[in-house]
Chain A
Amino acid sequence: MRIAVLSGKGGTGKTLVSVNLAVAAKTSTYIDCDVEEPNGHLFLKPEGVQEEEIFVKIPKVNNELCNGCRKCLDFCKFNALAYIKNKLIVFDDVCHSCGGCSLVCPEKALTEKEKVIGKVQKGTADHVTIYTGILNTGEATGIPIIKKLLAANNPQVDRLTLIDCPPGSACIVMESIKDADYCILVAEPTLFGVHNLDMVYELVKLFNRPFGVVLNKCLEKENPAEKFCLEKNIKILGRIPFDNELGTLNSNAEIAVNKNEKYRELFSSLLDMVTKEVQHETITNP
Chain B
Amino acid sequence: MKIAIPVDEKSLKSNVCASFGRAPYFLFYNTVTKESYYLDNTAVASQGGAGIRAVQVIADHGVKVLLTPRCGENAEKVLSNAEVLIYKSTPGTAQENIDAFIDEQLNLLSDFHAGFHGHGGN
| Assembly CA distance A83 to B56 (angstroms) | 7
Main secondary structure of the interface of A (DSSP, over half): loop
The answer to whether the Cβ of B53 comes within 8 Å of any Cβ in the partner chain is: yes
Name the distance in Å between B75's Cβ and chain A's nearest Cβ: 10
The answer to whether the Cβ of B31 comes within 8 Å of any Cβ in the partner chain is: no
Q: Name the residue on B nearest A83 (C-beta).
A: B56
* Residue contact B46 to A94, C-beta cutoff 8 Å: no
Chain A contacts for B122, CB-based, 8 A: 94
Near B by CB (< 8 A), chain A positions 50-93 give 73, 76-85, 87, 89, 91-93
Chain A contacts for B78, CB-based, 8 A: 82, 84, 89
State whether A84 and B49 are in contact (beta carbons under 8 Å apart), knowing that A73-B56, A94-B74 are contacts in the complex.
no
State whether A79 and B120 are in contact (beta carbons under 8 Å apart), knowing that A73-B56, A87-B81, A89-B77 are contacts in the complex.
no
Chain A contacts for B48, CB-based, 8 A: 78-80, 94, 96, 140
Q: Which of B53, B59, B77, B118 contacts A79 (CB 8 A)?
A: B53
Name the distance in Å between A243's Cβ and chain B's nearest Cβ: 33
Interface residues of A (CB under 8 A from B): 73, 76-85, 87, 89, 91-94, 96, 138-140
Q: Which of A73, A81, A94 contacts B119 (CB 8 A)?
A: A94
| Assembly CA distance A212 to B49 (angstroms) | 38
Q: Name the residue on A nearest B43 (C-beta).
A: A79
Chain B contacts for A139, CB-based, 8 A: 120
Q: Which of A83, A96, A138 contacts B120 (CB 8 A)?
A: A138
Q: Name the residue on A nearest B50 (C-beta).
A: A79
State whether A82 and B52 are in contact (beta carbons under 8 Å apart), knowing that A77-B46, A87-B81, A91-B74 are contacts in the complex.
yes
| Assembly CA distance A73 to B50 (angstroms) | 13
Chain B contacts for A92, CB-based, 8 A: 120
Name the distance in Å between B43's Cβ and chain A's nearest Cβ: 7
The answer to whether the Cβ of B83 comes within 8 Å of any Cβ in the partner chain is: yes
Interface residues of B (CB under 8 A from A): 43, 46-50, 52-53, 55-56, 59, 74, 77-78, 81-83, 118-122
Name the distance in Å between B64's Cβ and chain A's nearest Cβ: 13
Residue from the set A73, A80, A87 with the largest chain B CB neighbour count within 10 Å: A80
Chain B contacts for A89, CB-based, 8 A: 77-78, 81
Chain B contacts for A96, CB-based, 8 A: 48
* Residue contact B82 to A85, C-beta cutoff 8 Å: yes
* Residue contact B56 to A94, C-beta cutoff 8 Å: no
| Assembly CA distance A94 to B122 (angstroms) | 8
State whether A91 and B49 are in contact (beta carbons under 8 Å apart), knowing that A83-B56, A138-B119 are contacts in the complex.
yes
Chain B contacts for A91, CB-based, 8 A: 49, 52, 74, 77, 121
| Assembly CA distance A138 to B115 (angstroms) | 10
| Assembly CA distance A78 to B49 (angstroms) | 6
State whether A84 and B82 are in contact (beta carbons under 8 Å apart), knowing that A79-B43, A79-B50, A138-B120 are contacts in the complex.
yes
